Structure 1
Amino acid sequence: MSKSIIYRLATVADSCEIQELFNTHYYPNEPITVGWINNDPVPEDLASTLEVLVEKFSIVAVDEATNRIVGACIAGVDTQNDMKNIIDEAKKTANKKWSQYLQLFARIRLESKIFEKFNVNESLHVHALVVDGNYQNNSIGYKLMEECFKLAASSDCKICSVNCSSIYTGKIATKLNMQCIGSIAMDSVIDEDGKRLIYPPEPHTHINSYAKRLSNDD
């Protein structure tokens, strides 16, 4: 592993490499996906995440020695109007698991009340944070989010937000002085029949929503 990591704007051209990073290091470790009651694929989830790259707020970490992407912070602008789009997609999608994911995303948004609490119409939202397991414990996740928020602040974004099912990502958010504005116990996430959907691995128990105001100094 090289000690020389550079951080740059992610582009659509990075999609394939980022997809591999997600399949290898994100989905096998993210508490929501690991703890979900079935392993049915949800290609819509990754496709939706990668679509955000066109908004030019995502950051990647690159090992200079190998020119490989070893981490990514995928972020885009989230608006109040997106709630209706999420609910509409949940109703029309043929993938039941994706529908359940979308319903959960809508619940997180509804219960965190980010727009009401900060009196804004949009936020820069981190959709996913991933770091190659071979590069853990080098503060890459922290640096990725920090660089993402600096970029957002320079583009006049007022608020940043992230939802964390992992306590480790939550610790990064706290270190970045983000405020916890909402929390959902994963054992409370159920389907229409009242069946529990997530059994997260220890020590993860909640999906916590974090947010903070941005300035050009952040």
Structure 2
Amino acid sequence: MNPLIPIRASALFCIPRIPAINQTFKRFRKPSPCDLVPPDRKPCFDICNCSVERGNKCHARMISAFLYEHYWTREPSVIGLWMDIHSPYIKILTDKYSYSGDRLLALERLPRTTERKLVGVSVGNKIFPWEPDELEEWAHATRSLPERHRMYFTAHCYRSPNIFKKYNVQYIYEVEVIATAAEVTGQGVGKLLLTTALEHAHELRIPMVQVTSVSAYTSKICEKVGMKKEWSMKYSEFVDDAGQRVFFPRDPHHTVTVYIKKFEQG
């Protein structure tokens, strides 16, 4: 044996390897409601912590920021036209909804800090029989094709159901906006806002309330509160002067529907 040949350390210490024991213990606990909440939604959201208040001019900037963050970025009649949410037309609508109309704010009380966070907004306004003609006049004057299409679309949704003549009303109270924060979508905030808006309209002795639902989620809310489906149209049926389809909304928003609630005047 040649003494100059190096000997490996593993040959000197031939100790058999002992397999490691997995010492991770599984913690058993009762299932929590939070386990069933999808990851894109706010965990442990409780609708009982929400209250609805009337908005005023002091809330205008907060409403405007909320609409840009949670409403316009998901509104099917805007997204379906590839309209820029920072366009002048959207700016005009945002200012209208922020500074005028009957604004209702859904505020969530955070248990740990007792602060209140805005999680929903609804805006109601009166519409009159001449407004479709006025919208079409504005559409003639605008240079932006998506803005023009949306003005024509809104006028078409006002005129086609023919609610003014059918129910013989001088005006209609329309809930134009039902917006909820993305993380609480489908957890009752929209229903709470619409229910409060209907109660408010009934107290003011308003004869007719209308919701032009451009979203499949808003349609579900209207049906839950007992509103009547008056008129419906697929987005694919709305075409321009050349007969070309103009709306390409995302799933599952394929239909615009008009819902109404008529109050009997005692």
Using the size of structure 2 for normalisation, the TM-score is 0.74
- The alpha-carbon distance between structure 1 residues 49 and 159, as it changes in their structure 2 partners (threshold 3 A), is farther
- Tell me by how many angstroms 1:163 deviates: 0.9
- Tell me by how many angstroms 1:192 deviates: 2.6
* 1:56-107 residue CA offsets vs partner (Å, 9 max, x unmatched): 4221101233323210011111111222221221122343322211111111
1:1-218 to 2 correspondence within 5 Å? 3=46, 4-37=49-82, 39=84, 41-52=86-97, 56-65=101-110, 66-214=115-263
Q: Could you say what the CA RMSD is over the residues aligned between the two structures, in angstroms?
A: 2.2
Counterpart amino acid of 2:213?
Answer: C
CA distance in 2, matches of 1:52, 1:121: 23
CA distance in 2, matches of 1:56, 1:201: 29
8 Å CA contact 1:10–1:56 kept in 2: the answer is: no
8 Å CA contact 1:36–1:199 kept in 2: the answer is: yes
CA distance in 1, matches of 2:264, 2:149: 35
8 Å CA contact 1:31–1:201 kept in 2: the answer is: yes
The DSSP-based 3-state class of the residue aligned with 1:177 is coil
- The alpha-carbon distance between structure 1 residues 49 and 122, as it changes in their structure 2 partners (threshold 3 A), is farther
CA distance in 1, matches of 2:77, 2:149: 12
Runs of 4+ in 1 over 6 A off after TM superposition: none
Residue of structure 1 equivalent to 2:38: none
CA distance in 1, matches of 2:167, 2:241: 32
* Higher share in helix: 1
Q: How many residues align?
A: 216
Counterpart amino acid of 1:64?
Answer: R
* 1:154-183 residue CA offsets vs partner (Å, 9 max, x unmatched): 112110001112111001111111111111
8 Å CA contact 2:77–2:150 kept in 1: the answer is: no
- The alpha-carbon distance between structure 1 residues 18 and 159, as it changes in their structure 2 partners (threshold 3 A), is same
CA distance in 1, matches of 2:139, 2:57: 26
8 Å CA contact 2:70–2:179 kept in 1: the answer is: yes
* 1:105-131 residue CA offsets vs partner (Å, 9 max, x unmatched): 111111111112221011110111110
Query: Unaligned regions of 5+ residues in structure 1, if any?
Result: none
- The alpha-carbon distance between structure 1 residues 41 and 100, as it changes in their structure 2 partners (threshold 3 A), is farther
Query: Unaligned regions of 5+ residues in structure 2, if any?
Result: 1-41
CA distance in 2, matches of 1:193, 1:38: 20
8 Å CA contact 2:89–2:147 kept in 1: the answer is: yes
Using the size of structure 1 for normalisation, the TM-score is 0.89
CA distance in 1, matches of 2:98, 2:204: 16
Q: Percent identity?
A: 19
8 Å CA contact 1:52–1:76 kept in 2: the answer is: no
Counterpart amino acid of 2:108?
Answer: D
